[in-house]
Amino acid sequence: MAITRVHHVGLVNGDLDHARQVLVEGFGLAVDVHRTPLPAGRPGYDGTTILEFPIGEMYYEVAKPNDSTSDAAQYLESTKGRGGMYYISLASSDMSGDIQGILDRGGKLQGEWDGKSAVCLDPSTSLGLNIEITPEDNYFVHPHYKGNGVCMGMAHIGIAARNPHESRGFWGAILGLREDSKERSGGGDWEERL
C-alpha cells in the first residue's frame, strides 16, 4: 500500500469571503494566493470556485458552487447552506498499485480512470464518503502562506461511523490502511466501547 497521507480536505461553502474570514481571522491560516489568487479564487471541480488554505503539510480546499445543479451545489443545499467537509483526498506514491488493490478488494471507481491523474471512489463502496486518490506531489507550502502560527497542522480528521465493523471493512479491508490501536481515542477494543 502506498497511500502516504491526507493530501487535502475539500470543503463546500456558499460564501468564500466568509470562509476566508473564519479560517484566516479565526484560525490564523492564510490563503495560498500563489495557487488560488484573491479575491476571485480559481476554477475548481464541477463548476466551483476554490480557495486553498494550507495547514501543515496539507491544505483545506474550500469550494463555492457556481450553479445550483452540480453535486457540490446539491451537497450545500442538503446542509441548508451551512456546507462542510465534502471529500477527503488521499495521496498515493503508487497510483496504479493502490487503485488495482482497491478494485481487487471490492472497491469501485466513480467513472473511468485515465491511469495517471486523481480519481474518486464510488461512494457506494466507500460508506457514502467522497474519497479521492491523488498522485503524491510532495506538496510543500511556501512559508509566506503558512498563516500566523495559531494553527500549525492537522492532528486528525474525525468521521462518524454507523458501525465500527463496517468502518474497519472500508478503511482496512478495501483501502488497505492499518489501524493504530494505540492512538485510538479511548483505547481498548471497539467492542468494549459499544
The string of pLDDT tens digits covering residues 9-56 is 999 999 999 999 999 999 999 999 999 999 999 999 999 999 999 998
Give me the domains of the chain, ranges plus CATH numbers.
3-93+136-159 (3.10.180.10)
pLDDT over threshold 50, residue 194: no
Q: Give pTM, 2 decimals.
A: 0.88
pLDDT over threshold 60, residue 188: no
pLDDT over threshold 80, residue 183: no
Stretch 111-117: mean pLDDT, rounded? 94
Burial of 174 (0-12, 13-18, 19+ CB in 10 A): buried
CB 3 within 8 A of CB 98: yes
Give dist(CA 181, CA 172) in Å, integer: 13
According to the model, what pLDDT value does residue 191 have? 44
According to the model, what pLDDT value does residue 179 have? 80
The residue ranking higher by pLDDT, 194 or 5, is 5
**Among 60-64, 87-91, 142-146, where is mean pLDDT lowest?**
142-146
**Among 12-16, 60-64, 96-100, 182-186, where is mean pLDDT lowest?**
182-186
According to the model, what pLDDT value does residue 85 have? 95
According to the model, what pLDDT value does residue 189 have? 52
Cα three-residue angle 186-189-191, rounded to 5 degrees: 110
pLDDT band at 156 (very low <50, low <70, confident <90, very high): confident
